[in-house]
Structure 1
């Protein structure tokens, strides 16, 4: 029944078809190449990364909510065309780009560095793509983290010299590693042994002791920390450079099917609104779909999460994209990228003319109690510590005192400074604070809870 370029396993394909949209199927593939034999069905193929959870408004969450299918069904009632959506899940952005440049995926979501590679490959292979929206971002770079194994002797980036570090070359996490090492006076090409590995492979290598550190993107650092399998060595937000994920589309598809692209962007906006209005429910939904702990999903995607969700192509993000190009050129992954030609804000303006987006806020401490469907926020880490004592805690979150990066309170490094409390993602950051504040001292989490209460 299925031929040509559609290669999803049968079970995955069945799951990808909402009951309301079980329409006569096309013979081959994605996009307009997927027009059916009766020319009345259009197949749209979406590539996403379920475990890269700050893409959920264009992937996992959007798929579970069914908003894209709803938008297309409404469109179909107007134009008499049937629409069918095929969702394809990948671990990283690279295979999505490969499928897009082969004409097999129409719309994809990925991180900023992979987006640039997507643009370069599309131009090179004469299958140009365009960046049309953003999913999640962090203006300081907090979505990427370098972690080590618990009990590791490594205490700072300087300790990585001559060590083995796992990362995914061409990813935003690799970009963070390269830039951070250089700021620490370490040549990333000569002074460390960098291993190019998929996130899951790198996580296993860290657990096995075959690498000394792991630099990865959301949600791997938070997941490993939550599981007690890693300790944060470097908070990507210390770079103070924006990092984000976004939506890219094949130019040919966007030009031939603008109404379909509009439907996708409207659906993404609806998914973004849902995430903002029901963050706990959204985290539970993503957790169920991905197998990730809901507490980890919420760390990044919650009300005070590390990621801010906003489809707008903000100037700060586009400027950061331009700054990423030299890093990829030096790595030999692109020759050049015309960022201005790649970014296309017109479809989003057309599809969502009055967005009314929420601006990012300074994160607060947050407490998720067992059995509750909402969380409590606190204006200070001290207030959180007092609330934790004696409570049945599902998860407690606290922002880094300098970068604002949210982290698990029981995995953070706590500092008592007179009558105040501060938390840090990394021990190195806590030690820098203590060194500059007479009388300040590092305190274990359990002791902080006892003393603050």
Structure 2
């Protein structure tokens, strides 16, 4: 039979095709090597993490910092944002090497560090703080408006919704212990915040113990009132940024870019608090009045990146408690808290947002954070400072007479300093002083210590002003 001459020429052609394919594969790999994907896990509705999450994402600061870094090192950076309801799933994804940078509350942070250390390897590191409150007011317990409970102890035997292992759960357990209620003295329902808020409204639970912004959201919606202010516990609570250390070791410039972006977001929030509150509200669906309660000037949350000594010390003190409730085995706090990234970034300190300006009603500067309040009227694009609670009441009463409708009024608790909705507060008159308290229990405590003082409703307080 005749030979097939075409068979031989095919061999060099095939080799050429394979070589081209291999070359294309190398080129693709090189391009891939020049691209770094950064996965950020955040909690959009946990609004005291917004400088590392919601607001940061809305402003595009991280992408801007990475673009600048890419121009220096020739790397293309891609950011993937993943939104969660709580810190636990962020930790799970970090342990699976699927999230590089995350933000969450103090107890979830400690659990994150513990489980990462237990798993071995490089672990995770706390690199910055987002929002904090030195007394613990970021957590609270709310009950339905018709609830017979007047103090936290009245919840004994009741159904309480919380997210087990969260900072709010920790506040609940420690506050109940202080009130003489053992850990098994309530019927705890382990639920995500949104589920718990719906359960409270439906009457299927008797109380909701949650972190920012859920207590304020429930109260503002008229679905309940604050039974317990976490500030009464007097223990610092914070949220912060945690990274996978392996990722940080490989890409320290990315972590520093994130911290610079967080500083940008913090500065924007402090310099433009009302605009920041609106942007967070737009992104989350939360009422802007609720966001501003926590994140506004003199807000419940103070935003600063620094790993302050008192916050780190609170971490150390929380470890034995978390061990006692069985959610944490061990944690080397000194290894977990890593200020080196902040030191390398060399960021300037950002002062917290404060209420400023002159009180138009009383003609005095509103410069005392323990007294100053803030008023927001319907149809207005700015707020008004109030020098003290009495001045705030006078201003609201005058505005009501003039036909203005109140959007929100914020005033600090007379004992704890917790900023709260003035019309949801419990008011007390003591001589000429008009004093607001976030809870009935707080007002009762003051009344018991001051026999001449009397309790007032919101309308009575307005009339008394």
Shared fold by TM > 0.5?
yes
1:388 matches 2:396:
yes
Give the secondary structure class of the aligned counterpart of 1:410.
Answer: helix
Match of 1:375 among 376, 383, 398: 383
Shift of 1:359: 9.0
* In structure 1, C-alpha distance between the alignment counterparts of 2:428 and 2:248, rounded to whole Å: 52
1:11-410 → structure 2 map (5 Å cutoff): 38-127=32-121, 128-188=123-183, 190-355=184-349, 357-358=351-352, 362=370, 364-389=372-397, 390=400, 391-410=404-423
Shift of 1:356: 5.1
* In structure 2, C-alpha distance between the alignment counterparts of 1:315 and 1:401, rounded to whole Å: 27
- The answer on whether the counterparts of 2:296 and 2:353 sit within 8 Å (CA) in structure 1 is no
Q: Gaps spanning 5+ residues in structure 2: where?
A: 1-28, 355-368
- The answer on whether the counterparts of 2:153 and 2:179 sit within 8 Å (CA) in structure 1 is yes
The answer for the alignment partner of 2:456 in structure 1 is: 443
Q: Gaps spanning 5+ residues in structure 1: where?
A: 1-34
Give the secondary structure class of the aligned counterpart of 1:38.
Answer: helix
Deviations 1:178-216 (Å, cap 9, x if unpaired)?
11011111112x211111111111112211222111110
Give the secondary structure class of the aligned counterpart of 2:342.
Answer: helix
Give the secondary structure class of the aligned counterpart of 2:210.
Answer: strand
- The answer on whether the counterparts of 1:366 and 1:378 sit within 8 Å (CA) in structure 2 is yes
* In structure 1, C-alpha distance between the alignment counterparts of 2:39 and 2:426, rounded to whole Å: 44
- The answer on whether the counterparts of 1:365 and 1:379 sit within 8 Å (CA) in structure 2 is yes
Alignment RMSD (CA, Å): 1.4
As a proportion of its length, which structure holds more helix? 2
Deviations 1:23-74 (Å, cap 9, x if unpaired)?
xxxxxxxxxxxx8753221110000000000000000000000000000001
- Report which of the two structures shows the higher radius of gyration computed on alpha carbons: 2
The answer for the alignment partner of 2:446 in structure 1 is: 433
- The answer on whether the counterparts of 1:242 and 1:320 sit within 8 Å (CA) in structure 2 is yes
Using the TM superposition, name which of 359-368 and 256-265 deviates more. Answer: 359-368
Shift of 1:354: 3.4
- The answer on whether the counterparts of 2:374 and 2:386 sit within 8 Å (CA) in structure 1 is yes
* In structure 2, C-alpha distance between the alignment counterparts of 1:50 and 1:409, rounded to whole Å: 26
* In structure 1, C-alpha distance between the alignment counterparts of 2:30 and 2:389, rounded to whole Å: 58
- The answer on whether the counterparts of 1:265 and 1:352 sit within 8 Å (CA) in structure 2 is no
Deviations 1:401-431 (Å, cap 9, x if unpaired)?
1000011011111111121100111111111
Give the secondary structure class of the aligned counterpart of 2:80.
Answer: strand
**Change beyond 3 A, Cα 1:203–1:113:** same
- The answer on whether the counterparts of 1:168 and 1:199 sit within 8 Å (CA) in structure 2 is yes
Any runs of at least 4 consecutive aligned residues in structure 1 with deviations exceeding 6 A, and if so which?
none
* In structure 2, C-alpha distance between the alignment counterparts of 1:145 and 1:377, rounded to whole Å: 26
Give the secondary structure class of the aligned counterpart of 1:422.
Answer: strand
